[in-house]
C-alpha cells in the first residue's frame, strides 16, 4: 500500500495559494486516476486508487499545514504502511517556480507541514515530490508569500507543473524513486 499525501490548508481562503501546491497536485493525480477524494477519516480527506496494480491511498490532511503529521501518522497506522511507502507532495521555497524535484529523506527546511510529519512519524525517510514556488521578493515575509495566490503568469504555467508532479508520482510508484529522480532531478 502506497500513501500519497498532498500538503495544504483546507478552505476556500487558501484554495489557490502557493502553500496549497501539494493539494493541487494531489487533486490533479486524483482526476487522472478518476478517484474521488472525499471520504473523511483521520482528520483527512481520502480516496483509494490503483496506479497500475499498486493499491494507493490519496490523502489531503484537513488539520492545517502545521499539524499535517497528525493525519499522516493516523493514516500510516491504520493502513500498516511503512515510512518507505509514503510520498508527500509539497510546495518548496528553495526551488524556482515550476520546478518539480524528487527527494528521499532530509530535513524539513523550515516547512511546517514536513516538520509536523517528521515529528509525528519519527522519521524523515519518506519520499517527497517538491513543487517549486520560488522565494518572495526581498522584504516580504515568507509566511505571507506562501499564503498568497500565484501570479497571473504562474497560473498559466501551473497546469503543466501539476501534470509533471502527477507524472513524477506515477513513475515513483511504478518504476521506483531512483528512476523518477533520474528523470526529474
Active site residue 90: no
What separation in angstroms does the CA of 173 have from each of 49, 87, 140, 159? 12, 9, 37, 21
Q: Where are the domains of the chain?
A: 2-184
Q: Write down the pLDDT at residue 110.
A: 87
Per-residue pLDDT of the chain (185 residues; tens, 9 = 90+): 999 999 999 999 999 999 999 999 999 999 999 999 999 999 999 999 999 999 999 999 999 999 999 999 999 999 999 999 999 999 999 999 999 999 999 999 889 999 999 999 999 999 999 999 999 989 999 999 999 999 999 999 999 999 999 999 999 999 999 999 999 99
What is the rounded distance in angstroms from the CA atom of residue 183 to the CA atom of residue 185? 6
The topology (CATH level 3) of 2-184 is: Rossmann fold (3.40.50)
d(CA 26, CA 7): 9
For position 23, what pLDDT does the model report?
98
pLDDT of residue 155: 95
**Count of residues for the chain?**
185
pLDDT score at 81:
95
Strand arrangement of the beta sheet that strand 44-51 belongs to? 39-41, 44-51, 54-61, 2-6, 86-92, 127-132, 100-104
Give the active site residue among 19, 42, 90, 111: 19
- For residues 145, 147, 152 and 156, what is the CA-based torsion angle, rounded to 10 degrees? 110
Predicted pLDDT at 78: 96
Amino acid at each position: 500500500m502506497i500513501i500519497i499525501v498532498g500538503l495544504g490548508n483546507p478552505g476556500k481562503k487558501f484554495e489557490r495559494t502557493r502553500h496549497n501546491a501539494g493539494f493541487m497536485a494531489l487533486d490533479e493525480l486524483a482526476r487522472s486516476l478518476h478517484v474521488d477524494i472525499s471520504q473523511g477519516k483521520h482528520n483527512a480527506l481520502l480516496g483509494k486508487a490503483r496506479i497500475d496494480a499498486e493499491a494507493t491511498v490519496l490523502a489531503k490532511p484537513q488539520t492545517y499545514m502545521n499539524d499535517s503529521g497528525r493525519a499522516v501518522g493516523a493514516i500510516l497506522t491504520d493502513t500498516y504502511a511503512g515510512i518507505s511507502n509514503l510520498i508527500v507532495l509539497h510546495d518548496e521555497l528553495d526551488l524556482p517556480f515550476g520546478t518539480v524535484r524528487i527527494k528521499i529523506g532530509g530535513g524539513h527546511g523550515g516547512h511546517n507541514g514536513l516538520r509536523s510529519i517528521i515529528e509525528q512519524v519519527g522519521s524523515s525517510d519518506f519520499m517527497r515530490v517538491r513543487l517549486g514556488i520560488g522565494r518572495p521578493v526581498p522584504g516580504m515575509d515568507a509566511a505571507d508569500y506562501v499564503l498568497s495566490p500565484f501570479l497571473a503568469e504562474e497560473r498559466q504555467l501551473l497546469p503543466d507543473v501539476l501534470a509533471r508532479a502527477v507524472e513524477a508520482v506515477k513513475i515513483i510508484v511504478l518504476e521506483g524513486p531512483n528512476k523518477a529522480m533520474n528523470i526529474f532531478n
